[in-house]
């Protein structure tokens, strides 16, 4: 299986925007420090601060599984204290370990498989810069 992309959507609870931003920063910090297979992890906030989209990309299913292990505690706090309505759109070929992971976390999700694009396969996004990682040839 090739790389995996996700778009996570959530709503920010009223009056919780500052706490939400701090917890998002904690998730990003952990991702930068610990993940080794994350290509993208970008957070976007709506202009009114009520909704958030997180664009994620991994080298494959094992990247998301690794990422989940690293941020589990921080993500749990995010949804316990600051956010609701978590829904994920997953782009890539389905795999049983990922289906099991999404089901275990009781997150709503929809899976999309690549149909066609400008290139014969989806474009792989740039990797999060890390000094200790070496890009493997395609």
Instruction: Give the bridge partners for 91, in sequence order.
Output: 5, 112
**CA separation for the pair 26, 137 (Å, rounded):** 32
Q: Residue 44 burial (CB < 10 Å; 0-12/13-18/19+)?
A: exposed
pLDDT band (50, 70, 90) for residue 132: very low
Tens of pLDDT, residue by residue over 48-59, are: 999 999 999 999
Tens of pLDDT, residue by residue over 62-114, are: 899 999 999 999 999 999 999 999 999 989 887 888 888 777 777 788 889 88
Percent of the chain with pLDDT over 90: 58
For residues 128, 104, 45 and 51, what is the CA-based torsion angle, rounded to 10 degrees? 170
pTM: 0.82
Average pLDDT taken over every residue of the chain:
86
For residues 28, 34, 35 and 39, what is the CA-based torsion angle, rounded to 10 degrees? 50
Q: Residue 7 burial (CB < 10 Å; 0-12/13-18/19+)?
A: middle
Domain range annotation of the chain = 4-112
Report pLDDT for 53. 98
Architecture of domain 4-112: 2-Layer Sandwich (3.30)
Phi, psi of 137 (to 5 degrees): -65, 150
Tens of pLDDT, residue by residue over 1-50, are: 578 899 999 999 999 999 999 999 999 999 999 999 999 999 999 999 99
pLDDT band (50, 70, 90) for residue 126: low
């Amino acid at each position: 299986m090739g790389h995996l992309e996700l778009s996570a959507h959530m709503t920010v609870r009223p009056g919780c925007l500052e706490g939400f931003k701090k917890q998002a920063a904690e998730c990003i910090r952990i991702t930068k420090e610990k993940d080794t297979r994350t290509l993208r992890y970008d957070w976007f906030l709506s202009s009114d601060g009520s909704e958030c989209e997180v664009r994620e990309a991994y080298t494959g299913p094992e990247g998301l599984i690794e990422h989940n292990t690293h941020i589990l505690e921080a993500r749990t706090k995010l949804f316990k204290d600051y956010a609701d309505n978590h829904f994920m759109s997953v782009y890539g070929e389905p795999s049983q370990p990922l289906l099991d992971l999404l089901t275990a976390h009781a997150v709503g999700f929809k899976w999309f498989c690549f149909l066609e694009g400008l290139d014969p396969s989806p474009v792989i996004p740039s990797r999060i810069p890390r000094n200790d990682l070496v890009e493997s040839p395609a």
